[in-house]
Amino acid sequence: MQYHNSCFTSQRLWRTNKKIKYFHCDNIIRYKFATPKKYKKIRGLKLSNKVKTYGAVVLSMIFWSFSFIWFKAANKTFSPLTIVFIRLFFSVILLSTFLFFTKGFMKIRKGDKKLFLMMATFEPFFYFLGESFGLTYVSATVGSVLISTIPVFATLGAWLIFKERLKVINYTGIILSFIGVLVFILNKDGSISFNIKGLGFLMLAVISAVGYNLTLSRLVGSYSPVYIVSVQNIIGAVLFLPIFLIFNFSDFINTPFNLKMFLPIIELAAFASCGAFILFAYSVGNIGITKANVFTNCIPVFTAFFSFLLLGDKLSVQNIIGMAIVITGLFLSQMNGRKKIVDDALALTGKTA
């Protein structure tokens, strides 16, 4: 069966007496059948779909911004390794259930198995070692700002490894982001205003995310995003299991069970690791990766706002200026046509588990 492509702006419809059947793909509607009488209905559906799409992408950003806050809440009771392992365990169950009911399981090609293992070693394994331990030393807002620089480092990685051409505006954004980070973390006398150990762990997370991004770019065209996240979380849980059993299991079983203590980890697994990503993947399918990815630059803003309301985190004027410079640099570094395969990989990086 052949499908005819048509945008709403062209107002071209293929006429038949059959029912309407349409599919969304990066702002293009693929019509299988359509009639003139149904045109108004199609336009209404498009408007409704836009509301759902943008609502989904904003909600996913809120969930991901809350992940830093939920971690800080869970860390009051559990160690970083315990939080990560339990979070991965629950997310594997939830994503596998989702894939089962949507028939989204896929067969991994033999040559791709090593790539999946390498990818999961970078993220979630090394990435969450860095992020989780980093967040024990710095605030949720500081963590979100530094983690938000991943696209900048990923752009540099694509330039170095894939020889991807960048434009002047991209270089400007990269430099601006680094300046913003320095403004954010340095005092007036040049000393670092935040815990150095925490910043070091967070930089480990950022570097791991770059390795993840470069590996993932070789897989995104062959497997669905949700399936990729499910597989990497399974591998990640297996990698974390022996470490959890050796270092944290005894403390975990001796901790009195309380559902309230587990709630932040359940929220991390259900909303940040699963719900947010499914919503984001849905949005990408409707508005395209480039437009959806722009929203991720707002995560530090959401985190700072909710951290102020819920955790009492405070930012100085210098911190706010530094954060604004970082976000501006992020927008500039992603403008004007990165390769689609790198863009697809970047959408998953740093927010998948």
Mean pLDDT by 10 residues, the chain (353 residues): 34 35 38 42 61 92 96 95 96 95 95 96 96 95 93 84 82 92 88 91 95 88 91 96 95 88 94 92 81 86 93 90 93 70 66 58
Q: Judge whether 353 lies within some domain.
A: no
According to DSSP, the residues that pair with 28 across neighbouring strands are 25
pLDDT of the residue at 233:
95
**Residue 103 belongs to some domain of the structure:** yes
**In this structure, are residues 88 and 237 in contact, taking their beta carbons and an 8 Å threshold?**
yes
Contact (CB, 8 A) for 82 and 179: no
Measure the CA–CA gap between 23 and 35, rounded to whole angstroms. Answer: 16
Integer CA distances (angstroms), 308 to 69, 146, 184, in order: 10, 18, 17
Domain limits for position 277: 57-348
158 occurs within a structural domain = yes
* DSSP H or E segment with residue 5: strand 4-6
| Kind of pairing between the strands at 28-33 and 4-6 | antiparallel
36 falls within a domain: no
- Total count of residues recorded for the chain: 353
Radius of gyration of the chain measured on its C-alpha atoms: 22
What pLDDT does 162 receive? 74
Residue 315 maps to a domain = yes
For 13, phi then psi, to 5°, come to -130, 145
Continuous segment of H or E residues that includes residue 321: helix 317-333
Cα separations in angstroms, 223 against 105, 230, 294: 9, 11, 23
- pLDDT at position 58 is 94
Of 135, 170, 133, 194, the residue nearest 322 (C-alpha): 194
Instruction: Please check whether residue 12 lies inside any domain of the structure.
Output: no
Tell me whether residue 69 is exposed, middle or buried, using C-beta atoms within 10 angstroms of its C-beta: 0 to 12, 13 to 18, 19 or more: buried
Position 42 in a domain:
no
CB 124 within 8 A of CB 236: yes
Quickly count: other Cβ atoms within 10 Å of residue 250's Cβ: 10
Two tokens at 340? 């689609």
Distances 334 to 17, 37, 47, 284 between C-alpha atoms, Å = 45, 42, 27, 16
Tokens standing for 105? 């399981």
Looking at the structure of the chain, the number of domains it has is 1
- 10 Å CB burial of residue 21 (0-12, 13-18, 19+) is exposed
Residue 190, C-beta contacts closer than 8 angstroms, at least 6 positions apart: none
CA distance 18 to 34: 7
* Residue 71 near residue 273 (C-beta atoms within 8 A): no
Whether 84 and 128 have beta carbons less than 8 Å apart is answered as yes
Residue 283 in any domain: the answer is yes
Contact between 145 and 323 under an 8 Å Cβ cutoff? The reply is: yes
